[in-house]
Structure 1
Amino acid sequence: MTGLGHAGLFIETAAGSVLCDPWVNPAFFGSWFPFPDNTDLDWAHYGRAADYLYVSHLHRDHFDAENLRRTVRKDITVLLPAFATDELERELSALGFTKFLRAPSGTPVERDGLRIMITALTGPGDGPIGDSALSLDDGRTVLLNQNDAHPLDIAAIREFGEVDAYFVQFSGAIWYPMVYQLPLSAKKEFAARKRQGQFDRALRYIDAVEAKHVFPNAGPPCFLDDELFEHNGTGQDGESIFVDQLEFLRQLGRARPRVAAHLLLPGTVAEPEDTACKLTHRYTETEIEHIFGEKPAYLREFAGRSGPRSPPSAPHGPPRCPASGC
């Protein structure tokens, strides 16, 4: 399993490979970027090599139309969640994709030795474009890629198989409370509650799934425009919600010291084998320390690499209300 940044994964199994949520181009009026920078990955390789494409839902930090159009071969088999409406299928068809494997929600299907199950969320809180989680089993390893989905029936997902590798959402994906007109003290309090709620939710899922290996995934975004820069991470005064991977792993280590949790960065290759997991980072320890320990400097370098930026008229993010629990 290779991390591609944010919720992106390239999963190589004994029965085929799956490309998941390959996001690289700035989203939401060009204001959201994956953290850390994933622009130098070989996207064309992943788009050619994959046997299956899985896009969990249509939010633009998961559905990158430009990347899908440019780098993913159009005869790939698309694993399509069973949403109530067909927006995702229509958008993928408009990009040139023609082969769809429509999987009934929560029902395993088998293709050439690979068991596949997509759990589609279609409740009112998920919106018409839905959300979904992916389970895979190649006879050797069982994987659960949860993305932004918040499925209620974890017992049904566990019936698919004992999970070896679990990719769990851990960071915020919403502009609440940062851009609301609130006193700073209120923003700090609401953001603290939001960060704790995010962690508590992830912890509940980790406890329920009982996977051998856990990987924080699907976040956080970062912001390179000058007027949005202060919202990176947990903000200047604790008024933001975008916990990073190392912060989550440290908090998880204190709460659940026996959980085998691993840092997944763009380009990291994870090879789980029972209770062991071999990790191969493309970054050195010094580079990782720079990314997380000197985050403002790293993000300024990232902004410089991304070229001149036109300031957005207002901060934009996924059209989600605070009640959605993102």
Structure 2
Amino acid sequence: MNITHLNNSFLKIEGGGTKLLCDPWAGTANEGGWRSFPEFDPETLYAFMADCDAVYISHLHADHFDPTLLKAASLTGKPFIIKDFNNKTLLKRIKALGVETVIEVPALQATAFKNLQFAIVPQMTSNNAALDDEIDYDLDTSIVIHADGETFFNQVDNPLSLDNYKALKTFISKTFGDLDCVCLATGAASPYPQSFIACDRDAEQTAVIARSLDKFSAIIDILQPRAYFPAGGTYIIPGRFAPLNRWIAQPDFETLQSTLNGRTKAFTIEGGQTLDLTTLGVTFDLPPAQPDRTAAVHDHMTDAYAHDSFDDIGIRDTELDTLFTRAYANYSRKMRDDSVTIAQSVAFTLYDNLEVDADGNISSTPCARYSFTDHVVPGMEMIFHLDRKLFIKGLTRAANWNQLLSLALFERRPNVFHPTVEFSLNYLTV
């Protein structure tokens, strides 16, 4: 089996003559708040993707499901492979591209596609901290692929717990045999700590990396693969939030390799390199057009965000008050009907043009503030700082809350993680 890693969770896997693309992404995501890295020449990238036999999409987040790239690379005539989700949003969005064949696979069911065997691993917890979350969040998946007598596990963003990994190891052993290679997302793919203004981001970055390395080490002990490479959660922040790049909590490869301490063979192949699982040799199949991260950040510091061109001229403050009142009524009804407890007081501070200075602090003046009046928790506060236009897009479903929060700044007092609050905002809509 050969595995090529382009960026983030974008892989090309070839086994037994069958070629599978995983989560193709190139360009921007999350309202322009994330940009893929490394960058590739578009036409060269399309040609590299053209001979695939199928496309696996792990979940519907924009850095994994990229309709613009799928259409530009003429992949809509290929079969698509996804989990058989209860919520059919991903299926509908894929079919809206004109895709005729979508293979929906039940979780943890060994399935054959041409010369590949695979099984899709469902999301079993909502967050990497394994905290209880009252929102049912069946979103992420991972995939196990078997071909040429070799087995590969691609975690993607799926926040599996250590107990989940133990069960997964048993499943892989019984279904496919020995595990030859894994790719794991280590560090934070979330906005923490770079987008959180009420904390010591340097200290929190160090702490997040340390915790992720502890879990990474434990996962390797459980899975015991022959080879490993890091993948997932890699991007740059373009535009006026570019100063926040310095706090993205991703360990470097040397640190990961040191943590392994010889327990498995480690490779870094992001940027178009291919790992041969039989020989454990690496070749450079698709050199990137821009391989330097610092240069890429500099190149995109003046990029605009999607909501910058959003027309909100007709929505005066009184209309926005009405929009929020209606959206909050819908939100409160949903939380009440589902017996969901919101453990923080929630507020939104709005700006005409939210910017940060070189130290990552807000340098703009607020223009409005809204709060959840029926969900007040003394001593527990979460304030979302974001552009007025972005707030309107969330309320009116012109953008998904999960994605637009990549362009928000968070003020959490005290600095305690409550996953339910952020996930619940998807219901704050008219």
What secondary structure sits across from 1:136 in the alignment?
A: strand
1:272 corresponds to: 277
2:220 corresponds to: 206
**Greater CA radius of gyration, 1 or 2?**
2
> Is 1:139 aligned to 2:144, yes or no?
no
Is the Cα contact below 8 Å between 2:58 and 2:64 reproduced in 1?
Answer: yes
> How far has the Cα of 1:217 moved from its partner?
0.3
Q: Deviations over 1:281-302 (max 9, x none)?
A: 3699xx97xx3xxx434532x4
CA gap 1:84/1:123 in 2 versus in 1, 3 angstroms: farther
CA gap 1:128/1:43 in 2 versus in 1, 3 angstroms: farther
> How far has the Cα of 1:86 moved from its partner?
0.9
Q: Distance in 1 between matches of 2:114 and 2:139?
A: 28
Aligned partner letter, 1:147: V
Q: Distance in 1 between matches of 2:89 and 2:95?
A: 10
1:157 corresponds to: 172
What secondary structure sits across from 1:98 in the alignment?
A: coil
> Is 1:168 aligned to 2:184, yes or no?
yes
Is the Cα contact below 8 Å between 1:221 and 1:242 reproduced in 2?
Answer: no
Q: Distance in 2 between matches of 1:318 and 1:216?
A: 26
Is the Cα contact below 8 Å between 1:195 and 1:241 reproduced in 2?
Answer: no
Range 95-104 or range 20-29, more displaced: 95-104
For structure 2, the 5+ residue unaligned runs are 127-132, 309-353, 355-385, 387-403, 411-415, 420-430
Q: Distance in 2 between matches of 1:77 and 1:196?
A: 40
Equivalent of residue 303 in structure 1, options 300, 313, 318: 300
CA gap 1:102/1:38 in 2 versus in 1, 3 angstroms: same
> How far has the Cα of 1:123 moved from its partner?
4.8
> How far has the Cα of 1:220 moved from its partner?
1.5
2:79 corresponds to: 77
Question: 1:175-254 to 2 correspondence within 5 Å?
Answer: 175-183=191-199, 186-225=200-239, 227-232=240-245, 235=246, 240-243=247-250, 247=252, 249-254=253-258
For structure 1, the 5+ residue unaligned runs are none
Range 111-120 or range 156-165, more displaced: 156-165
2:378 corresponds to: none
User: Normalized against structure 2, the TM-score is what?
Assistant: 0.63
Is the Cα contact below 8 Å between 1:109 and 1:115 reproduced in 2?
Answer: yes
User: Normalized against structure 1, the TM-score is what?
Assistant: 0.81
Is the Cα contact below 8 Å between 2:108 and 2:121 reproduced in 1?
Answer: yes
CA gap 1:216/1:123 in 2 versus in 1, 3 angstroms: closer
Q: Distance in 1 between matches of 2:207 and 2:418?
A: 13
Aligned partner letter, 1:299: V
> How far has the Cα of 1:108 moved from its partner?
0.3
What secondary structure sits across from 1:135 in the alignment?
A: strand
Is the Cα contact below 8 Å between 2:230 and 2:268 reproduced in 1?
Answer: yes
Q: Distance in 2 between matches of 1:164 and 1:148?
A: 20
Sequence identity (%):
19
Aligned partner letter, 2:179: V
Is the Cα contact below 8 Å between 1:5 and 1:34 reproduced in 2?
Answer: yes
1:54 corresponds to: 56
Q: Distance in 2 between matches of 1:283 and 1:13?
A: 18
What secondary structure sits across from 2:269 in the alignment?
A: coil
Is the Cα contact below 8 Å between 2:192 and 2:249 reproduced in 1?
Answer: no
Q: Distance in 1 between matches of 2:180 and 2:304?
A: 44
2:326 corresponds to: none
> How far has the Cα of 1:122 moved from its partner?
5.5
Q: Deviations over 1:213-266 (max 9, x none)?
A: 1010013211222x322222xx2xxxx23325xx1x211222222121101122
What secondary structure sits across from 2:209 in the alignment?
A: helix
Equivalent pairs, count: 299
Q: Distance in 2 between matches of 1:231 and 1:41?
A: 31
> How far has the Cα of 1:38 moved from its partner?
3.3
2:26 corresponds to: 24
